[in-house]
Amino acid sequence: MMVRQSLTITVMLGGPSAEREVSLRSGAAVGRALRSLGHTVHELDPAVPGWELPAGTDAVFLALHGSYGEDGTVQRQLDKLGVAYTGCDAEASRVAFDKVQTKERCLAAGVPTPRFAVIASAAADWPAGWEPPVVLKPVRQGSSVGLQFVEARAGWRAALAEALRFDHEVLVEERIVGRETTVGVLDGVALPLVEVRPRQGAYTYGNKYTAGATEYFCPAPFEAAVTERIQRAGLAAFDAVGGRDYGRVDVMVAGSGSPLVLEVNTLPGMTETSLLPMAAAARGLTFGALCQRMVELALRHGPAVTAAPSKSMT
């Protein structure tokens, strides 16, 4: 479906999550791109309850990250308003935002993922049967928020307490030694792989958002057969959570070339240097063309419903 006419698009950005600042940057980049294509663009920050969609909204572009934006909350609200929106639906968003449910869906679908356990108490001891190193992740947070690497048992207590600041449950995951990649998904197709190589340490929140701290390679330099294997795993994980339209799947690649899915991102970063736009560019899609395609996919799920001035959510 090609959408050629000028539309009125509301970009939702910011929000109440720990990833608010990144979301503001994503939304600003998307807004510029859509305006350059001739669309009328409004920006809406849903950080305060009681937000209203601007009158005449044809579609909502979700540039939100983290809780509220990626956990299915805003999607359920937009479903009630009958307005088309970009990205996955409410249920897929809810599942993908929960790292444990994502892993369970992957295992049920035969998609490899690192060994894991769940901890719900800061007083919990080192898990029986495990050896360091491990990774601790808040179960329901953005991909790098609260991320902790534990190299020795002596660091367990402090790392667990820090991870629990961001959620009441923490995922303990086997740390995979290998190469870190991400699989962009657009309309059921895997985009060229991006390999992530931090200059120092791991791909933490700081290394992700500090200029020059990480090197990116796209297309990632793997043999063709390994590339295909990684892309298949990414697509299978996206399907396992019920994803639609677009997303990004983070995958570790062990030394043998075996992919292990870490998590699924349903609203990945959308600055012009983010990983999904980087992968799309390697396929020949400019940032503006990618944003346009995302809007087209949103409208494909049903006719756009013009929002009345009174349409609001509390």
- 265 catalytic residue (yes or no): yes
Instruction: Report DSSP letters for 189-231, one per residue.
Output: EEPPPEEEEESSSS--HHHHHSTTSEEEESS----HHHHHHHH
Catalytic residue among 31, 269, 274, 293: 269
Question: Could you give the 3-state DSSP secondary structure of residue 288?
Answer: helix
Catalytic residue among 14, 234, 250, 293: 250
Question: Could you give the 3-state DSSP secondary structure of residue 113?
Answer: coil
- 143 catalytic residue (yes or no): yes
Catalytic residue among 17, 93, 265, 274: 265
The token pair that represents 80 in the structure block:
């009630």
Residue 58: Cβ-neighbour burial (10 angstroms; 0-12, 13-18, 19+): buried
Catalytic residue among 209, 232, 258, 272: 209
- 146 catalytic residue (yes or no): no
How many angstroms separate the Cα of 149 from the Cα of each of 97, 132, 146, 274? 20, 10, 10, 24
- 98 catalytic residue (yes or no): no
Catalytic residue among 20, 94, 105, 248: 248
- 71 catalytic residue (yes or no): no
Q: How far apart are CA 245 and CA 277, in angstroms?
A: 14
Catalytic residue among 19, 43, 98, 195: 19
Catalytic residue among 17, 23, 67, 143: 143
- 85 catalytic residue (yes or no): no
- The angle at the Cα of 231, spanning 236 to 22, to the nearest 5 degrees, equals 90
Tokens 């990945």, located at residue? 268
> Comparing C-alpha atoms, which of 42, 118, 66, 63 is closest to residue 272?
63
Catalytic residue among 66, 245, 263, 293: 263
Q: How far apart are CA 45 and CA 173, in angstroms?
A: 34
Q: How far apart are CA 99 and CA 97, in angstroms?
A: 6
Q: Catalytic amino acids? A: 19, 143, 209, 248, 250, 263, 265, 269
